[in-house]
Amino acid sequence: MNEGLVVLVRAIIAFFSLLIFTRLLGKEQISQLTFFDYVLGITVGSIAAELTVDLTSRAWPHFIGLLTWATLGYLMEIVSLKWRYAAKYLEGEPTIVIMNGKFMEKVLKKMKFRASDILELLRNEGIFDVNEVDFAIIEPNGKISVLKKPEYLPLTPKDMNIKVSPSGISTELIYDGKIIEENLIQMKKDRKWLMDQLKKQGIRDASEVFLFLLNPAGSIYIDKYSDNMKNPIDIGDYKGPY
Amino acid sequence: MRNFMTKAIPIATIAIFILIMTSGGYLKRPLGDEDSFSKMIEDITTDVNDGAWDRADSNAKNLVNTWNRIVIRIQFSTEQEEIDDISTSLARLHGAVAAEDKTNALIELKEAYNHWINIGK
């Protein structure tokens, strides 16, 4: 038995099985994961690791374990999507921990949160004075959502009756020196327009550009490979190399 | 077409993986006359019972060669311990045949056959 070869083949099986199963489980970001999703991820990853290197047992039982966990995770997602009560039961629901500026002590006790934990979460959100908070809600993923008191809310153009045009989402027209034709068509522009814009910035060829972004409002962002920075700021403490 | 491929490729990949992982039972089957592990065990058992030690020795060597060929085919779908156990049994069998020790030879033959039955299950 060639152990190296067997581990190689098993690693390929585990890697692509994990890839396919996680794609099937959805596109939730790490920050959106509930505690159960987190544990599910660790368990599935652990089974995949055992599938790869545990040669004392066949790959098949490990694969069945992997498949079962992934399927159950998928079923839980389906149930949560279709049945609102189940979603609340399985994933938890948002909990108000500060209401009208007052801490909800009983809720904190039930959730096993200390006031200092809430203050820490608030500081993470850039709030250092609890007096600014009207409502604070702990989301199922453990993050805090804060509604500030009206007097602490930032001024918006609407408050000032200022008309603004929507900026929209920027689209890449040049990436890594290459023109992306599909995006040009999508933005209803052509190569001639693009080259004119580059010329205005003193750029002769698209290959000089690292990134060219255009948003629907017509705003352009260009980053060249040569940034011509005379004194770039170094925030590192040591010279390196790392 | 692209939509079809995005579904077909993962399904085909998983199917191939399942085939590789469960192929032990099929791949241990003999590919030719000199590839049958269980028949060779039977032959050696007859040789040992008849006291034909030279023939038993020759057959035991062939059995080891056959086993080494089978291992290459089944290694991805069986556990290492089962493979090691058969290899150990065959080594002991070789020793028992060389010593013309009928009792131990029969014990090792039975044990090797038992492991063979369990392999790839």
Contact across the interface for A17 and B18, Cβ inside 8 Å: no
Look at residue A175 and give its three-state secondary structure.
strand
The type of residue at A184 is L
Residue the block writes with tokens 């032959």: B43
Count how many domains chain A has.
Answer: 3
Domains located in chain B, CATH noted: 2-118 (1.20.120)
Q: Is it true that the peptide bond before A241 is cis, omega within 30 degrees of 0?
A: yes
- Domain boundary, last residue among A56, A71, A88: A88
Model confidence at A16, pLDDT cuts 50, 70, 90, reads very high
Same domain, A81 and A99: no
Among partner residues A6, A56, A63, which is closest to B75 by beta-carbon distance? Answer: A6
What does the pLDDT look like over B62-119, one tens digit per residue?
Answer: 999 999 989 988 888 888 888 899 999 999 999 999 999 999 999 999 999 999 988 8
Check A58 against B83: CB less than 8 A apart. no
Q: Is the dihedral of CA A208, A213, A216, A217 positive or negative?
A: negative
Examine the fold and report which residue of A57, A88, A119 is the final residue of a domain before the chain moves on. A88
| Residue A216 counted as domain residue | yes
Cα radius of gyration (chain A)? 26
pLDDT of residue B26: 84
Residue A142: pLDDT band (50, 70, 90) is confident
- Do A128 and A84 lie in a common domain? no
Q: For residue A231, what pLDDT band results from cuts at 50, 70 and 90?
A: confident
Per the domain annotation, does A205 fall within a domain?
yes
pLDDT band at A27 (very low <50, low <70, confident <90, very high): low
pLDDT computed for residue A147 by the predictor? 94
**Interchain CB distance below 8 Å, B83 and A3:** no
CB atoms A55 and B79 under 8 Å: yes
> Is the ipTM above a cut-off of 0.85?
no
Kindly state the helix (H) or strand (E) to which residue A93 belongs, with its residue range. Answer: none
For chain A, what percent of residues have pLDDT higher than 70? 95
Evaluate whether residue A137 is within a structural domain. Answer: yes
Mean pLDDT of A87-98: 84
Q: Which two tokens stand for residue B51?
A: 């006291």
Contact check, Cβ <8 Å, A58/B24:
yes
For chain B, strand residue ranges (E) read none
Q: Strand A95-99: give its sheet, edge to edge.
A: A102-103, A95-99, A133-138, A144-148
Indicate if the alpha-carbon torsion angle A222, A223, A228, A232 is positive or negative. positive
Place of tokens 């604070």: A136
- A80/A38 same-domain check: yes
Q: Is the dihedral of CA A72, A75, A76, A77 positive or negative?
A: positive
To the nearest whole Å, the CA of A9 is away from the closest chain B CA by: 7
Asked if residue A240 is part of any domain, the answer here is: no
- Of A88, A108, A125, the domain-final residue: A88
Which pLDDT value is given to residue A31?
56
User: Which candidate in A8, A22, A23, A60 is best for mutational testing of the B interface (most B CBs within 10 A)?
Assistant: A60
Percentage helix, strand, coil, to 5, in chain B?
A: 85, 0, 15
Mean of pLDDT over chain B: 89
| Residue A107 domain flag | yes
**Structural domain contains residue A230:** no
A78 and A99, same domain (yes or no): no
**What does the pLDDT look like over A108-136, one tens digit per residue?**
998 888 889 999 999 999 999 999 999 99
Residue A100: pLDDT over 70: yes
Contacts of B14 in chain A (CB under 8 A): 17, 20
Looking at residues B50-68, what average pLDDT do you find? Answer: 91
- Can you give the residue range of the structural domain that contains A16? 3-88
**C-beta separation of B25 from B120 below 8 A:** yes
Shared domain for A117 and A45, answered yes or no, is no
Q: Do A8 and A84 share a domain, yes or no? A: yes
Give percent of chain B with pLDDT exceeding 90. Answer: 48
Q: Which of A75-79, A146-150, B109-113 has the lowest mean pLDDT?
A: A75-79
Report yes or no on A39 lying in a domain: yes
A238 domain-assigned: no
The interface residues of chain A toward chain B in range 7-36, judged by CB-CB distance below 8 A, are 9-10, 13, 16-17, 20, 23
Q: Are residues A14 and A62 in the same domain?
A: yes
> What CATH number is attached to the domain comprising A119?
3.30.240.20
Cα angle, residue B27 at apex, residues B26 and B31 outer, rounded to 5°: 105
Residues A8 and A80 in one domain: yes
CA A177 remoteness from chain centre: 27
Instruction: Please indicate, yes or no, whether residues A16 and A82 belong to a single structural domain of this protein.
Output: yes
- Residues in B touching A63 (Cβ below 8 Å): 17-18, 21
User: Which pLDDT score, from 0 to 100, does residue A77 have?
Assistant: 82
Residues A99 and A141 in one domain: yes
pLDDT digits (tens, 9 = 90+) for A175-221: 999 999 999 998 889 899 999 999 998 888 989 999 999 988 888 99
